[in-house]
């Protein structure tokens, strides 16, 4: 982040960083407290990432506050850390089936997804660089901020619970794939961290799922899928 702030896009990075900090506050990611005796506060840092569009042009200047999870102590600061990882063969099969059956493929993402995961352990972190209030207090974490060992697991569990609540079930072959079957209606949902693809023969079914997810998370609808995990996606509705 220091390098980004020293560059010609400093203004965009400052706006981006402020937006990320605002998201942390809105999600009640932490409470400011005085560090209890015998406890240690882990450090944190800002990361800067530029997201590109399907043409490779900069589209989003993304700032992210990340905890230095390598400072955590196993069994004290975290226990279970496993979270399912999306499998690329699954994605390729889904796209192939969608092409053959002329399914709709739409994309959405969850804004600051990991901040919806709840931290069960008692964890403390120093205040974010550039936003210290001068009181010497630290952040008692409520949410699984990026960088924590258990963050991916906390977020996956939260998302899986939400999806099950609206009728989805995880695939036994790939837990990053969720299926919802209601009569003759079928919706498939593939997730990689906070990036989601939705597959169905009906726009109405996909829009309904997006609407239900928006009731629980801050979501961004990206319309027809065009660029996902480094893959360019193009579908001809006539040829498939």
CA distance 87 to 79: 25
Q: How confident is residue 13, by pLDDT bands cut at 50, 70 and 90? A: confident
Q: What is the mean pLDDT of residues 104-124?
A: 91
pLDDT for residue 86? 81
pLDDT digits (tens, 9 = 90+) for 18-71: 999 998 998 899 999 999 999 999 999 999 888 777 677 767 788 999 999 999
Radius of gyration of the chain (CA): 20
Global pTM value = 0.81
CA distance 118 to 115: 8
CB 199 within 8 A of CB 187: yes
Start-to-end C-alpha separation, the chain: 43
Please, what sign has the CA dihedral across residues 86, 157, 26, 133?
A: negative
List alpha helices for 138-220, DSSP H: 151-165, 203-214
pLDDT for residue 148? 96
CA distance 108 to 47: 23
- CA distances 151 to 69, 134, 143, Å, are 10, 28, 9
Domain edges within the chain: 2-69+77-232
- CA distances 11 to 16, 177, 196, Å, are 9, 39, 30
CB 182 within 8 A of CB 157: no
CB 12 within 8 A of CB 63: no
Longest pairwise C-alpha distance within the chain: 67
- Tokens representing 111? 């804004």
pLDDT for residue 126? 98
Beta-sheet strand order (sheet of 30-33): 30-33, 138-141, 124-125
- Tokens representing 203? 């726009």
Q: How many residues does the chain have?
A: 240
Closest CA to 194 of 135, 146, 131: 146
pLDDT for residue 211? 94
Q: What is the mean pLDDT of residues 109-119?
A: 89
């Amino acid at each position: 982040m220091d390098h980004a702030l020293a560059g010609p896009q400093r203004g965009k990075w400052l706006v981006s960083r402020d937006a990320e900090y605002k998201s942390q506050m809105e999600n009640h990611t932490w409470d400011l407290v005085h560090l209890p005796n015998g406890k240690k506060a882990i450090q944190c840092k800002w990361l800067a990432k530029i997201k590109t569009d399907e043409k490779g042009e900069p589209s989003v200047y993304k700032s992210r506050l990340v905890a230095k999870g390598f400072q955590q102590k196993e069994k004290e600061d975290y226990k279970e850390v496993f979270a399912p990882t999306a499998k690329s063969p699954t994605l390729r099969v889904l796209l192939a089936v969608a092409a053959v059956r002329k399914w709709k493929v739409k994309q959405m993402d969850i804004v600051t997804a990991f901040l919806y995961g709840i931290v069960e352990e008692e964890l403390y972190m120093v205040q974010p660089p550039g936003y210290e209030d001068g009181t010497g207090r630290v952040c008692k974490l409520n949410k699984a901020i990026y960088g924590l060992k258990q963050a991916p697991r906390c977020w996956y569990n939260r998302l899986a619970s939400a999806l099950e609540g609206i009728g989805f079930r995880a695939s036994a072959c790939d837990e990053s794939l969720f299926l919802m079957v209601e009569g003759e209606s079928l919706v498939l949902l593939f997730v990689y961290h906070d990036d989601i693809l939705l597959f169905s023969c009906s726009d109405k079914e996909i829009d309904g799922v997006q609407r239900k997810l928006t009731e629980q998370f801050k979501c961004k609808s990206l319309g027809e899928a065009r660029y996902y995990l480094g893959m360019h996606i193009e579908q001809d509705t006539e040829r498939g």
